[in-house]
Each structure stands twice: as C-alpha cells, then as structure tokens.
Amino acid sequence: MREPHVIVEGATRIYPGTAGRAPLHALGPIDLTVRKGEFFSVVGPSGCGKSTLLELIAGLQPLTAGRLVFEGVTVNGDVPPGVGVVFQQDASFPWLTVCDNVAFGLRRVGAPAPEIERRVESALRLMGLQAFATAYPAQLSGGMRQRVCIARTLVLEPRLILLDEPFGALDRQTRLLMGDELLRLWRATGATVVLVTHALDEAALLSDRIGVMSARPGRWLEIIETGWPKERDTGLVERPELSGLTARLWAHLRKEAVQAMGGGASG
C-alpha cells in the first residue's frame, strides 16, 4: 500500500453563528487517508460540506476540531507549500493574458525568467493553450478559462491537486474531454488528486476511490474502491461496471439528497 499523503482525523467545521443565527455544523467529524498519487473523489448532496472539506485540506479554512496532516505537517488555516487548488468558479485574472496568468505564481515566488518560460510553455502545451498565449480570458470560452486555471495550478508543480467541481459549468461533452485531460495530467505529474464533484458518473469514471458523504453535517457513508487500472480514460463509459458503480453511489445518495432538499420526497 502506498504511503499516506493526506491524513484527516476527526475533522469538524462549525461556522460560528452571526446576527442572531445559530452556529452551522457543516462537516464532520470525519476521518480520511488519501494515499500518495491517488485519485480520490468526494460526492454528496448539495450543502453536505464537500467544498468545506476541500478548503480545510487546502488550509483555506480553519478546523473547528480534529487534525489534518499533509506530508507529515499539520494544516490549520494556512495553505501549505505543494498544494494547488482549482475552483469551480473562473479564477483567471482578467487583466492578464493567458501566458501571464499561467506565469503569475512563478513570478511571485521569484523563479528565474528562463525557468518561468520553460514551465509556462510546458503547461500551455499540456493544456492545449499555446495558440492562445497572448489572449485575454475575456476572449476565451468557459472551458478554456478553466484550462488556464488548471495550467496556472500545474505550473507550480503541486504534489496535491484539489479540484472543487472544476467542470461544473461545462457541458457533458466538454466534461468528458476535460476528464481525459485530467487523467492524463494526473498520470504525467504523479500528483495526488482530490476531486469534489456532484456528478456521480464523473466520480465513477475518474477515481481510484470515491468517498460518499451524508447530508449536512457531512460524514462518510461509504468509501468505494473503483478498481480501475491506472492507465484509463473516459472510454470507460462503455464498461458495464461503470453503471453498476454509479447506481451504487446513487443508492447511497438518494435518501441523503432528499434529506438535503428538505425531506419532502418519498423514498
């Protein structure tokens, strides 16, 4: 078994009450160990704390209780080095060209110009953005802007890539293509990937393991091994096991999704 890369122990997040409102227990307590080089996905009903979990791992939010360790170092409210995050919303900087967007992080850490040039060129090639290096985000489609954000993350060579519904705004066809690109990048970089998604088929297609969360406060209902080989792509859609996996995920989530929506529907 590969070594643990991220360890989550009893992680809990409670948002303090404001303006007379009661505190909101968003997540946990949950435990999780993500192995080095693993592709782990998190699915769950809306509002179950999937994104909160990702932000806790990224160090973007403090834990209310519990412990979180990345590469042996405790994380709590500060982003540790070696972590990259791709958000669902477009996070490209509109005042910079594609090339400058991708180079942004490297310039901030003072990397030498030749190295910046080499790494940016490589990231642009990897994401198929060479022809758009001088374009501004406003001139690109939503999918291409998301690729810019992925390239901006990859260029920093993170060892842990956290993806918060990165393809949420894309159509199904583009999602499949982006899924292929993501698998290719995952294999090429050897990074650990944690993907939060609401798309069960996407999680079933891409992941080594899938964590299924309950309605808020999010806790694990089950963690499922997909059993896919490392060399895979979205051609797996033709495999009968995929529909079995998706059905298993939905069987867990149906009741939780109804509960998250207010509990009115019959089961």
Q: Say which residues have a Cβ less than 8 Å from residue 157's Cβ, sequence separation at least 6.
A: 119, 189
Question: Is residue 129 within the footprint of other proteins (CB under 8 A)?
Answer: no
- Say if residues 54 and 194 touch (Cβ distance below 8 Å): yes
Cβ-based nearer residue to other proteins, 74 or 89: 89
Rounded distance between C-alpha atoms, residue 104 and residue 98, angstroms: 10
Our CB check for other proteins shows the closer of 33 and 88 to be: 88
Alpha carbon distance 243, 247 (integer Å): 6
Site residues for other proteins, window 32-71 (CB under 8 A)?
Answer: 58, 60
Residue 235 found at the interface with other proteins (CB under 8 A)? no
Q: Is position 242 an interface residue for other proteins (rule: CB under 8 A)? A: no
Least distance in angstroms from the C-beta of 49 to other proteins: 17
Among 62-70, 136-144, 181-189, 204-212, the segment contacting other proteins (CB under 8 A) = 136-144
Kindly state the smallest distance separating residue 97's Cβ from other proteins, in Å: 9
Structure tokens at 74: 């405790």
CA 189 from centre of chain:
15
Chosen residue from 40, 87, 186, 228 binding other proteins by CB under 8 A: 87
Alpha-carbon separation of residue 52 from 68, 115, 155, 183 (angstroms): 13, 35, 25, 24
Q: Is 15 in the site for other proteins (CB under 8 A)?
A: no
**Is residue 85 close enough to count as binding other proteins by CB under 8 A?**
yes
> How many Cα atoms sit within 13 Å of 203 on the Cβ side?
29
CB closer to other proteins, 15 vs 93 = 93
Report the nearest approach of other proteins to the CB of residue 194 (Å).
Answer: 14
SS3 for 260? helix
User: Considering the complex, what minimum distance in angstroms separates the CB of residue 4 from other proteins?
Assistant: 22
Q: Where are the beta strands (DSSP E) in the chain?
A: 4-15, 24-35, 39-43, 65-70, 73-74, 83-86, 160-164, 192-196, 209-213, 220-225
Q: List interacting residues with other proteins (CB under 8 A).
A: 58, 60, 79, 81, 83-85, 87, 89-91, 93-96, 104-105, 108-109, 136-139, 149, 152-153, 156
